Amino acid sequence: MNTYTPIFPSGRTIERCKQDAKVIVKNSKLSNSPIALNKALDRVASDNGINLPWEHALKQLKASDVKKPKIAQTHLLGHALNLVIKKGLIDMSSTDDADNNYLECNLLEKPTVINWRYIGFGEIRMSVWWNFDKTKHPQHLEGGYKNRIILDNLSDHEKMKYAGTKKGIFSNENTIEKYQTDEPLAKPSKYIDFVGVLCSTWIERKDGKYLQTDDGTRIHSSYIRARDKKLLCSIPNCRPLGFELSGRFRM
């Protein structure tokens, strides 16, 4: 069951930050410049987005406002774009199209797929599948199709072995999940089994740098699993890396 654990703006949990502080203390002793644990915690809080002493940082985290779902999805999309920018996978300073791509990652402590497609005019469609379990996806090669045989490169003779059976499968884009679309290749009724949140938006790069979310009203391909709603609405605010979280939708 998902329970809410306060998360720093960086995406690290309180427990992970405590572990980071202990590592700082340990390394400081090895370098003969010992740092007290409370000072290490203060440094970790600052490094992870809250420039306050540790105890004050915890109070701020625990008092954070709970967001409305669409606003929370806007911040989730912002965190996703931040990560993709940091990894050099999307260039916000360019308006050129590039290769469509995807990233399997850990976003705000949850397994996530981010995929994006260039649509011209400097715009990019970006989608986030948060709290995603590919092993339970019915059309994933590591999920429901893990025991299927891919027929694409087999000889006609080899393919005949699987004729009339459900063992063989061709890997076309409408059959096997390849992270190319804004929503998973599965019936929406199956989403509850393998994904917590879906949301998509368009990224504007030509006439500004922003997400075309229009305060959440233009987020599309949206899905929120009931048991993930509280967790989603409690995620930390996104601090965008050179773009705005919300801008007008362009036709």
d(CA 213, CA 219): 5
If you compute the radius of gyration of the chain from its CA atoms, what whole number of angstroms results?
21
Closest CA to 221 of 198, 195, 196: 198
13 half-sphere exposure, CB direction, 13 A CA radius: 11
Residue among 102, 35, 71 at smallest CA distance from 222: 71
* pLDDT score for 160: 84
What integer pLDDT is reported at residue 17 of this predicted model?
95
Neighbouring CB atoms inside 10 A of 214's CB total 17
Buried residues in 227-242 as b, exposed as e (16+ CB within 10 A): ebeebbbbbbbbebee
CB atoms within 10 A of CB 74: 25
Alpha-carbon distance of 245 to 238, in angstroms, equals: 8
Q: What is the pTM of this model?
A: 0.77
Angle between helices 37-47 and 54-62 (to 10 degrees): 50
Whole-angstrom Cα distance, residue 9 to residue 242? 16
The first and second tokens of residue 175, run together, are 């059959």
Q: Consecutive sets of 10 residues in the chain, 251 residues long: mean pLDDT of each?
A: 65 89 94 93 92 90 79 96 97 95 94 97 96 97 89 84 79 84 96 98 96 93 95 89 92 65
* 3-class SS of residue 61: helix
